[in-house]
Amino acid sequence: MRWARFALNGTPTYGVVEGDIIIPVRGSPFDGWERTPNRLTFDDVKLLVPVVPPTFYACGMNYPEHVREVAEKVGQKPNLPTQPDIGYRANNALIAHGETIVIPKDATDQVQYEGELVAVIGRKCTGLTRDNALTAVMGWTIGNDVSERTWQKGDRTMWRSKNTDTFKPMGPWIETDVDLESLVTRVRLNGKQLIEFHTNAMVFGVVDYLVAMTRYLTLYPGDVVWMGTEGATENMKHGDTIEIEINQIGTLRNPVVREG
């Protein structure tokens, strides 16, 4: 099942996507829902981020090649993490599929994409086990962890390098039925494919993270966990269009402008 979130007469509304049709529901996939008799097309609606998370979690350093690339860019030694220490991102930075990534005036040209699988939590849970961890995930979406590398290297925290407004595209929707092991992530800049990787080839997998996290913390419906990215990343500039595709889920596409 595929869940889109969109503005309907100005009100954020969930709908079930069936082919090119969106069926708005009363309620939400997190609280219970029922179909309305309406039928919409994607031309009728403006997609919103598929969920505004109570807490926005993000794995860093979760694919081996990316660990080496980032270490080189920020001038540190590459070290594969030895335990799944989760990080955080901020809701102010979220934008939907189709919305514009805005590079601040004073950013360098090193503003880069990172294509990521996103797990969306469906229920309140703590103490998850390896056997039941995936039952806490209600579905999957796509994230682009846009990063300004000089700020990432020089600042004490990742506040503006990763959480400047518009730096966290997420969408286009949530897909509930996914076979993790057969997912492939592809990143295209202006239509040219830059990288393709086996999405599930993580240093620590979704189950590893959820089990470790819920040993100490409670997850809530709508929390998101961004699973990290693989490979080298390149600069995006004014006028570019960046696409992250994960088969079985969809394509997250955003234009890029530099603040004038």
Residue 259 binds its own copies, judged by CB under 8 A = no
Task: Tell me how far apart the alpha carbons of residues 146 and 98 are, in angstroms, rounded to a whole number.
Answer: 15
Residue 155 binds its own copies, judged by CB under 8 A = yes
Residue 239 binds its own copies, judged by CB under 8 A = no
- Report the 10 Å Cβ neighbour count for 134: 14
- Considering the complex, what minimum distance in angstroms separates the CB of residue 212 from its own copies? 9
Among 129, 157, 190, 193, binds its own copies (CB under 8 A): 157
Interacting stretch for its own copies, rule CB under 8 A, among 10-18, 128-136, 192-200, 213-221?
213-221
Residues 182-211 that bind its own copies (CB under 8 A): none
- Considering the complex, what minimum distance in angstroms separates the CB of residue 73 from its own copies? 17
Name the pairing type of β-strands 137-144 and 147-148.
unpaired
Residue 104 binds its own copies, judged by CB under 8 A = yes
Tokens of 46: 């403006």
- Considering the complex, what minimum distance in angstroms separates the CB of residue 243 from its own copies? 25
Among 28, 4, 1, 24, which Cα is nearest to 170's?
4
- Secondary structure letter of residue 30 according to DSSP: T
Among 52, 134, 194, 201, binds its own copies (CB under 8 A): 52
Task: Tell me how far apart the alpha carbons of residues 178 and 150 are, in angstroms, rounded to a whole number.
Answer: 36
Among 42, 150, 220, 257, binds its own copies (CB under 8 A): 220
Contact mark string toward its own copies, 115..154, x via CB under 8 A: -----------x----------------------------
CA 58 to chain centroid, in Å, comes to 9
Among 156, 179, 181, 191, binds its own copies (CB under 8 A): 156
Return the residue matching tokens 């999405």.
Answer: 199
Contact mark string toward its own copies, 158..187, x via CB under 8 A: -xx--xxx----------------------
Task: Tell me how far apart the alpha carbons of residues 26 and 29 are, in angstroms, rounded to a whole number.
Answer: 10
Tokens of 183: 């997912």
What's the angle, vertex CA 118, arms to CA 115 and CA 124, rounded to 5? 165
Based on CB atoms, which residue is closest to its own copies, 160 or 258?
A: 160
Residue 93 binds its own copies, judged by CB under 8 A = yes
Q: Per DSSP, what are the bridge partners of residue 23?
A: 16
Tokens of 205: 């997998």
Task: Tell me how far apart the alpha carbons of residues 135 and 45 are, in angstroms, rounded to a whole number.
Answer: 31
Q: List residues near its own copies by CB under 8 A.
A: 52, 54-55, 60-61, 81, 83, 85-88, 90-93, 104, 126, 155-157, 159-160, 163-165, 213, 215-220
